[in-house]
Amino acid sequence: MDIQQAEVRREWRNIDLLIVMPSEKIVIPIELKIDSTQGVDQLQRYRHIVESEWLLDHGWKHLNVFLTKHDEAPLDADQWHPLRMSDLVNELEPIAKTNGSSVASESLRAYLRMLRRHHLEDKRLEEIASKLWSRHKEALEFLADRRPDAVGNLFDALKDRRGELAKALSEVGPQVVLDADYKTIVRFAFAKWDDLPGFKQATWTESKRFVLLELKREGPKINAYLYLGPGEEDARAAYASLLDKKRLHRPNTRVGRDWMCLAKSEMLSSQIDEETDMETAIEIVTKSLQLFARKVFDHFDPVLASLTTSSKN
């Protein structure tokens, strides 16, 4: 088939993948299930959506693929072809191995290795691992306790540059100052908010600021938060009532008595390992944090400014 003009869409009308080949008049919707299962009428709905766009009576052929990690039969059984991820990988691996050293081929090989590592069983490796643990349990436990921590190393490097981070944040918006740092948290503050009435009556930080920007290492991730913390009840209540309805993070959920997460964002979307370039990772986190700081300040500053106006009145 001529696939030079093939178009691949991601999340089109909630369908995971959609391949359209105009020259062949073939459309291939692919619904992928890894650790979840299909909805009652999900596949039927998706099929009707595709059929309404690429009409069968206009000569379009439809190949509906239900791609799954585990054995699961499609409920729209007569219309969807079940395909196991392991079978797909087995078909693609010989192709990836025979296509030389091009960038595309290496990308495909890397992706297939990732699928095997995270989603597919490898009986040969399972047997090797079982034998190793039975013979060298003590040594392997020792190594596991001391395995490299790429995310931890990155966060430590960010902590070492916390002053530079504060400066970088100030370059794209209002002045940001370093507040405090701990083993897995670095806190920053927007200097402008220090002048707000009753702002420095908090009890969760030595600076006594109610609202702080946090860079936090959480397991394999590095996230950023804007928090309203605990403090003097009357002062905190004024801030809580003002900010509650303006939250960017889960605005319709109930918050705790002492803590209110106003905003959250993941700083590094891809997983890193010991081969990841540290400077590149630091640059990515810095730029992500700059965008987050600018966003939350622009959103919440007008809200907090009303406290100053009301106090003057």
Q: What is the pLDDT of residues 71-106, one digit of tens each?
A: 889 999 899 999 999 899 999 988 888 867 777 888
Measured CA to CA, the distance from residue 289 to residue 223 in angstroms comes to 9
Q: Are 259 and 228 in contact (CB under 8 A)?
A: yes
pLDDT mean over 150-165: 91
pLDDT of residue 62: 97
pLDDT bin (cut points 50, 70, 90) of residue 270 is: low
pLDDT tens profile 298-312: 999 999 998 876 555
Average model confidence (pLDDT) for the chain?
89
**What are the backbone dihedrals phi and psi of residue 78, each rounded to the nearest 5 degrees, phi first?**
-75, -15
| Spatial contact of 174 and 191, defined as CB atoms under 8 Å apart | yes
How far apart CA 278 and CA 151 sit, in angstroms, is 10
**Cβ(66)–Cβ(83) under 8 Å?**
yes
> What's the pLDDT tens digit per position in 159-201?
999 999 999 999 988 999 999 999 899 999 999 999 999 999 9
**DSSP helix, strand, coil percent of the chain (3-state; round to 5):** 45, 20, 30
Contact (Cβ atoms closer than 8 angstroms) between residue 189 and residue 177: yes
Q: What's the pTM?
A: 0.56
β-strand pairing of 64-68 with 80-84: parallel
CB 248 within 8 A of CB 224: no
Q: Model confidence at 286, in pLDDT bands (50, 70, 90)?
A: very high
Q: Are strands 61-62 and 260-266 parallel, antiparallel or unpaired?
A: unpaired
Strand, coil or helix: 10: strand
Distance CA 175, CA 187 (A): 14
Distance (Å, rounded) from C-alpha 224 to C-alpha 25?
46
Average pLDDT over residues 34-54: 91
